């Protein structure tokens, strides 16, 4: 019995130290990045000014073709496109713009955006969500890992992550619900990129849902016109 208890507590100690090491790794990832403020489009529900309740927040990350310093470019597809066409939502939407030549993972832009939005607007901090497509799908995974303590759920579309970020997936995202999509005929970002992320998260029993879009390519932005994604996101609260 003594030997069993000794082994058990040693395993417990190793597990604890591993968790601390993973947290330290994530902290190092964030603090090593330069801080930045990105311009963004903001959508407020039409009844925002008439109510006093806090609202959920969805942060949308665009793909590589919308990088730059012209926010109007963001209306070409995705959530800003849907909003521009007149669709109404019952949550707040922030759509930042990534500068030319950078990735969503290059700088720590999230902290300044999160602080600004939660200071200026009535946002339910337990219901902050992240979604993005292509470059934004990669950003959803990586920014999700960097700031998992502030997020309730993620929806990456045709995303990927680097080999160096694979070890961070489970420690950071194991307890965050994720629904990811990828077209089987995508010739820009292979579906195998999402498959390996899903495989890693499934191995640590994470809450991951994967929808393979049969016979679809890279242009799956039409998913943002469907309420199903938003209904799925809004059911979750930060753990």
pLDDT higher than 50, residue 20: no
Output the average pLDDT for the chain: 90
What mean pLDDT comes out for the span 5-18? 41
Q: CATH: 3.40.50.1820, 3.40.50.1980, 3.40.50.150, 3.40.470.10. Which one for 33-234?
A: 3.40.50.1820
Determine what percent of the chain falls in helix, strand and coil, rounding each to the nearest 5.
45, 20, 35
Q: Where are the domains of the chain?
A: 33-234
Query: What's the distance, CA 164 to chain centroid?
Result: 18
Cα 42 to Cα 49: distance, rounded to the nearest angstrom: 15
Pick from 134, 126, 124: nearest CA to 190:
134
Say whether 48 sits in a helix, a strand or coil.
helix
| Predicted pLDDT of residue 11 | 41
| Predicted pLDDT of residue 198 | 98
Cα 32 to Cα 134: distance, rounded to the nearest angstrom: 24
Residue that has been written with the tokens 């337990």 in this structure: 126
The residues pairing with 178 across neighbouring beta strands, listed in sequence order, are 154, 208
| Predicted pLDDT of residue 239 | 82
Cα 38 to Cα 33: distance, rounded to the nearest angstrom: 14
Cα 217 to Cα 134: distance, rounded to the nearest angstrom: 11
pLDDT higher than 60, residue 25: no
| Predicted pLDDT of residue 32 | 80
pLDDT tens-digit readout, 98-133: 999 999 999 999 999 999 999 999 999 999 999 999
pLDDT tens-digit readout, 136-148: 999 999 999 999 9
pLDDT tens-digit readout, 37-84: 999 999 999 999 999 999 999 999 999 999 999 999 999 999 999 999
Tell me the CA distances in angstroms from 116 to 33, 121, 122, 235, one per residue in order.
19, 8, 11, 25
Which pTM was predicted?
Answer: 0.87
What's phi and psi for 130, nearest 5 deg? -130, 130
């Amino acid at each position: 019995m003594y030997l069993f208890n000794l082994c058990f507590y040693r395993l417990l100690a190793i597990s604890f130290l591993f968790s601390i090491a993973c947290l330290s790794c994530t902290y190092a990832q964030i603090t090593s990045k330069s801080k930045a403020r990105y311009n963004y489009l903001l959508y407020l529900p039409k009844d925002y000014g008439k109510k006093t309740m806090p609202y959920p927040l969805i942060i949308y990350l665009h793909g590589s073709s919308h990088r730059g310093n012209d926010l109007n470019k963001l209306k070409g597809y995705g959530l800003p496109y849907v909003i521009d066409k007149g669709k109404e939502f019952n949550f707040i939407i922030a759509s930042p713009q990534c500068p030319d030549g950078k990735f969503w993972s290059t700088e720590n832009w999230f902290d300044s955006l999160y602080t600004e939005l939660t200071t200026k607007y009535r946002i339910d901090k337990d219901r902050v969500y992240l979604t993005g497509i292509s470059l934004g799908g990669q950003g959803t995974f990586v920014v999700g890992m960097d700031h998992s303590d502030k997020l309730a759920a993620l929806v990456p579309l045709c995303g990927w992550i680097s080999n160096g970020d694979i070890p961070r997936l489970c420690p950071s995202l194991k307890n965050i619900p994720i629904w990811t999509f990828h077209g089987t005929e995508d010739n820009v970002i292979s579906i195998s990129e999402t498959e390996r992320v899903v495989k890693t998260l499934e191995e640590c029993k994470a809450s991951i849902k994967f929808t393979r879009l049969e016979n679809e390519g890279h242009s799956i932005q039409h998913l943002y016109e469907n309420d199903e994604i938003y209904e799925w996101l809004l059911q979750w609260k930060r753990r």
